[in-house]
Amino acid sequence: MTQWLNDTFRIPLLYDLLTTTVLIGLVVYQFLLHLDEAHVFGVVQLATYILSMTILVYTNCFMGECLHTECAALLNAYYECNWYEMSDFCKKALIICMETTQNPIHLTAGKFHIFSLESFAQIMKSSMVYVSMLRKII
């Protein structure tokens, strides 16, 4: 089921990843401009938008991290069970199950970007690089 979800949503997640990364950078730049000009309403409005976009990206990354963690926990549960007391048929089934969990399931964007908490930090760094670039250029 998770493989089907990943195959179904990898293109929308890629679009979401690319647009939110750029949008966060642009909106943070606008936020800094409004902060310098002391527009209180604009600052609050942009801060709310930045927070909502960050939560959107964080949610995807957190779900990808949870999926990876649960896959590792399942492998550990297979290892910790009393396999030596099982029948030969169950032992073979257990080996097959352990083999499938060796390659953990990932939530991806376009089959190349794996969502995790580490990737969340990279996304936020990329957004801040866009802000830095805009501040230097403009």
pLDDT of 105-121, one tens digit each? 788 888 888 899 999 99
Positions of E strands within the chain: 108-109, 113-114
If you search the block for the tokens 């830095």, which residue do you land on?
A: 132
Which parts of 85-138 fold into alpha helices (H)? 88-102, 117-137
8 Å CB contact between 65 and 107:
no
If you search the block for the tokens 């990808």, which residue do you land on?
A: 64
Average of per-residue pLDDT across 85-100: 86
Residue 91, pLDDT score: 86
- 21-57 confidence digits (pLDDT tens): 999 999 999 998 888 787 788 888 999 999 999 999 9
Average of per-residue pLDDT across 60-80: 88
Q: Indicate the range of 56-65, 81-90, 110-119 predicted with least confidence.
A: 81-90
> Would you say residue 83 has pLDDT above 80?
no
Q: What is the mean pLDDT of the chain?
A: 87
> Would you say residue 59 has pLDDT above 90?
yes
What gap in Å lies between CA 84 and CA 88, rounded to an integer?
Answer: 9
**Cβ of 99: how many Cβ atoms within 10 Å?**
11
Consecutive H or E run containing 78: helix 40-80
What pTM was estimated for this model as a whole? Answer: 0.81
> Would you say residue 3 has pLDDT above 80?
no
State the Rg of the chain over Cα.
21
If you search the block for the tokens 């099982």, which residue do you land on?
A: 86
DSSP summary character for residue 83: G
